[in-house]
């Protein structure tokens, strides 16, 4: 079946450190891939997306590349800030699936 696996954390980094959160997926066909972010006490926000192989999604300094050959969509940021502290969900979606499939989420804490 379709599924998403990601490192669960928690991940703790110092400000300005490099961030990588790994995400791999299992899916039929060619789904779109997403990273959603959830700040404390809030709902989910779409951070970035990629709709086909080799696409790179980017937003707010975060990037992720859709790698069909490794079925991965790893999230990266060159220099994290305290304000990036949140839970990050990797997800996949295709209209034929009827619903978004989420990974378990990765909690990130950035300390000054």
Partner 1 sequence: DTEVTQTPKHLVMGMTNKKSLKCEQHMGHRAMYWYKQKAKKPPELMFVYSYEKLSINESVPSRFSPECPNSSLLNLHLHALQPEDSALYLCASSQIEGITANYGYTFGSGTRLTVV
Sites of contact with partner 1 (CB under 8 A): 31-32, 34, 36, 41-46, 49, 51, 87, 89, 91, 93-95, 98-100, 102-105, 107
Q: How far is the CB of 104 from partner 1 (least distance, A)?
A: 6
The SS3 assignment for 82 reads helix
25 vs 93, which CB is nearer to partner 1? 93
CA 75 to chain centre: 5
First to last CA, the chain: 41
Q: How far is the CB of 49 from partner 1 (least distance, A)?
A: 6
Element of type H or E holding 84:
none
The helices-and-strands tally (H runs, E runs) of the chain is 0, 12
Encoding tokens for residue 92?
A: 């996949």
15 vs 56, which CB is nearer to partner 1? 56
Q: How far is the CB of 16 from partner 1 (least distance, A)?
A: 26
């Amino acid at each position: 079946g379709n599924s998403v696996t990601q490192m669960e954390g928690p991940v703790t980094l110092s400000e300005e450190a490099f961030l990588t959160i790994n995400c791999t997926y299992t899916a039929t066909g060619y789904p779109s891939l997403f990273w959603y972010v959830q700040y404390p006490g809030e709902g989910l926000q779409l951070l970035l997306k990629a709709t086909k192989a080799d696409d790179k999604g980017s937003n707010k300094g975060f990037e992720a590349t859709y790698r069909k050959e490794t079925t991965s969509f790893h999230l990266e940021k060159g220099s994290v800030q305290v304000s990036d502290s949140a839970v990050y969900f990797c997800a996949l979606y295709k209209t034929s699936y009827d619903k978004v499939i989420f990974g378990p989420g990765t909690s990130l804490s950035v300390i000054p």
